[in-house]
Amino acid sequence: MPKLKQTLILVGSAKHPKSTSESLGNYLQKRLETQGVETYKLKLYQHVFQPSAREKMLEFMNDSDLWVLTFPLYIDSTPYIVVKWMEWVMENKQRIENLTEKKFLPIVNCGFPEAKHNEVAISICEEFAKEAGLEWLGGLSLGGGESIHGEPLDSKVGMVRHVTTALDLTAEAVADGLVVPDQAITLMAKSFIPKWVYTLVGEVGWRYRAKQNGMQNNLKDRPYDPTPEHKKKPR
């Protein structure tokens, strides 16, 4: 298999200045560079809407052997800016050099503790690769992405060891022209903490934010409940 020469990491999060999607991309970028792969990173929200920026992005896409798309889950699917990018690629296939020789790898993260919520988004990415004629390398799926909260993975050490190991394995494999190893996919999908702990922390955080905004007594309000007041059961 031919060695990978250049990779383009596309960050599909609209969050600024930092996001979990970008943290994952940054770590993979460093690991690919240690493997001798020239790697560049672009944020989609800065490029998909402006014609001049799209042309600059096209240059990087043309020069790269591998496109890595890292993004957050939006309602069991891909964010709008990712959809916009996919549509643009399909509309401009004839302008992309050696399109069928390029490789594609998505990394999806969600706030739910279980990575399985990303399955639909991964399937969308796989179908996109098929329609575009890209070589599918497999997808990485991460649950509990808010645990990273946009911070560098190197700063979290033990808590994200399964994530960094998954990305290490991925970098080594794709740099050698291989697909994402099954071990990397399994490790990335591993939960950070037990589900009950995640739920408890989320509940405490929700109540804390409600109190900050003076809404601690309104958490059970149902302003759009169509049930008439006289039929509602006491809570």
For 20-59, the pLDDT digits (tens) are 999 999 999 999 999 999 999 999 999 999 999 999 999 9
Same domain membership, residue 211 and residue 108: no
Provide the whole-model pTM.
0.85
- Residue 1 is assigned to a structural domain of this protein: no
Q: Strands of the chain (E only): list them.
A: 6-11, 38-43, 66-72, 103-109, 135-136, 140-142
Residue 205: which domain range? Answer: 195-231
- Spell out the per-residue pLDDT of the chain, length 235, in tens: 678 999 999 999 998 888 999 999 999 999 999 999 999 999 999 999 999 999 999 999 999 999 999 999 998 899 999 999 999 999 999 999 999 999 999 999 998 888 899 999 999 999 999 999 999 999 999 998 888 888 888 887 777 899 999 999 999 999 999 999 999 999 999 987 767 777 777 788 889 889 999 988 888 888 887 776 655 565 5
- Residue 57 is assigned to a structural domain of this protein: yes
Per-residue model confidence as pLDDT tens digits over 142-166? 998 888 888 888 887 777 899 999 9
Same domain membership, residue 74 and residue 177: yes
Report the distance separating Cα 137 and Cα 173, nearest Å.
Answer: 10
* 71 closest CA partner among 24, 30, 103: 24
pLDDT at 203: 83
Q: For 48, phi and psi rounded to 5 degrees?
A: -75, -20
Same domain membership, residue 206 and residue 148: no
Same domain membership, residue 81 and residue 155: yes
Same domain membership, residue 92 and residue 208: no
| CATH code of residue 121 | 3.40.50.360
Same domain membership, residue 205 and residue 135: no
Same domain membership, residue 140 and residue 206: no
Distances in whole angstroms, Cα of residue 180 to Cα of each of 24, 66, 189: 15, 12, 13
* 11 closest CA partner among 53, 57, 42, 49: 42
| Partners of 141 in the β-ladder | 108
Record the tokens describing residue 96, joined without a space.
Answer: 């992309």
CA quadruple 101, 25, 85, 64: dihedral sign:
negative
Contact criterion met (CB below 8 Å) for 3 and 176: yes
Same domain membership, residue 216 and residue 175: no
pLDDT at 231: 59
- Residue 206 is assigned to a structural domain of this protein: yes
Report the distance separating Cα 149 and Cα 125, nearest Å.
Answer: 24
